[in-house]
Structure 1
């Protein structure tokens, strides 16, 4: 007989949670009501799945009623102390590393890696086969395509007004990184900027303007240095 679920100590499972086959839960895992978990899923110690968001009194985000449950696909691994909020959808074979946070209304595509300490804020879409490396920050309302590489400590932003003036409420916009885009370590991308297909940002750059397809930009502010070498383009992999 195929084993359905094995659990560690002090596991809390809410009502109407659905489990596939061969699910392993570590110690102190919390799974909220209605969560759907696929086959061959590993959820490690202290992870929280399906958490409803809590709105700060000073938050600009609208109040929301109870959100739909989280959906976890087949073959997913969720690391120690990771938190995945309600209304997130994690596709098959995604790896979510220790201490990562995936907020509400986020979708993560097949075989993407969400690295240690990564934060993916609310209302983001992340495509297939991406690598979001240690401690990078994906700001709310961002769209990430397929095969995107985001290096450690990259920061994306969505508020040009830095929390001042009422005008900012009309202009919140995350970043867009299209298929094959790459961003080097410690870079910052300003609100609303787009990195086109195979656009590449060198380490420690500040992106103040859109990055065109297949160009490499560098510096603060980032400017084109040269075209991306042909052997690095996504279509040649």
Structure 2
């Protein structure tokens, strides 16, 4: 036997499972699911039809934070759910308690923590880290090595360029006071955030805002404005031809 499948697993038609993979108790695999080599799928995970999971992935694992961590594990975390037609790249780690939509692309070496929601047709690029309790809207693209901190909300059709950093704690781990203020950014529909930008805790990036590469955003932006610099300041308006509502015309 070149893989281990628990007797309780529900297998759809035409499921392919590679060498040395382990599929745990009460996992559901839909029709035409493809599982690579050396993949571990933890208890209860639900994988819809047409999903591809590449080699060396860990799917649906329980979180186990450090003793000093402020994150508390919910004993009632729902199983991880992966929507129809989604592709999971090699060496990714996906945690229990999250929901990944249809036709999502999760790149190699990415990580998505617990209690996250990823909308349909979103892209989570290579090496992206998505921390716990993050919401990512449909058709949003997050590119290589970006860091999406806990308690961040990203709406639909947002573009996040490579190595963007979001933050959520102005106290950087000191004083109990920080717990009531911890909050990531809110990035609204159609916003674009350039490479290596930094978003400080709790800022709102308004619809159609354009954040230039390397900017540091320390306050809420205005809708459809271009921001540059450290700290970020308004440069000009976003041209009408670049807005989402003009892209299908």
Q: Which residue of 2 aligns with 1:187?
A: 197
Check if 1:136 corresponds to 2:139: no
CA distance in 2, matches of 1:84, 1:163: 25
Match of 2:96 among 86, 99, 104: 86
Matched, 1:32 2:42: yes
Moved more, 66-75 or 29-38: 66-75
Contact 2:43 2:60 in 1 (8 A): yes
Q: Does 1:107 align with 2:117?
A: yes
Give the Cα–Cα distance (whole angstroms) in 1 for the partners of residues 63 and 32 of structure 2.
29
Q: Which residue of 1 aligns with 2:167?
A: 157
TM-score of the pair, normalised by structure 2: 0.93
3-state SS of 2:178 partner? helix
Deviations 1:7-59 (A, max 9, x none): 11011000111111101100000001111111111000011110100011101
Cα distance in 2, alignment partners of residues 45 and 63 from structure 1:
28
**Runs of 4+ with deviation above 6 angstroms:** none
CA distance in 2, matches of 1:128, 1:165: 36
Structure 2: give runs of 5+ residues left out of the alignment. 1-11
Contact 2:88 2:107 in 1 (8 A): yes
TM-score (norm 1): 0.98
Q: Deviations over 1:153-178 (max 9, x none)?
A: 00000000111112111110011000
Q: Determine if contact 1:138/1:155 at 8 Å carries over to the other structure.
A: yes
Residue 232 (structure 1) aligns with: 242
> 1:217 is paired with a residue of what secondary structure?
strand
- Cα distance in 2 for partners of 1:119, 1:63 equals 19
Check the 8 A contact 1:52/1:66 in 2, yes or no: no
Asked whether the 8 Å contact 2:13–2:30 carries over to 1, the reply is no
1: CA distance, partners of 2:196 / 2:56: 29
User: For the aligned residues, what is the CA RMSD?
Assistant: 1.0
- After superposition, what is the alpha-carbon deviation per residue over 1:172-230, rounded to whole angstroms, capped at 9, x for unaligned? 00110000011000000000000011011000000001111100100000000000111
Partners of 2:42 and 2:61 within 8 A in 1: yes
Q: Which runs of 5+ in 1 are unaligned?
A: none
- Report the 3-state secondary structure (helix = DSSP H, G, I; strand = E; otherwise coil) of the residue aligned with 1:84: strand
The reply to whether residue 220 of structure 1 matches residue 230 of structure 2 is: yes
Structure 2 counterparts to residues 60-99 of structure 1, below 5 A: 60-99=70-109
Match of 2:21 in 1: 11
For 2:14 and 2:154, locate their aligned partners in 1 and report how far apart those are by CA, in whole Å. Answer: 34
Distance in 1 (CA, whole Å) between partners of 2:96 and 2:108 is: 18
Number of matched pairs: 236
Q: Distance in 1 between matches of 2:229 and 2:239?
A: 19
CA contact (8 A) 1:39 1:75 kept: yes
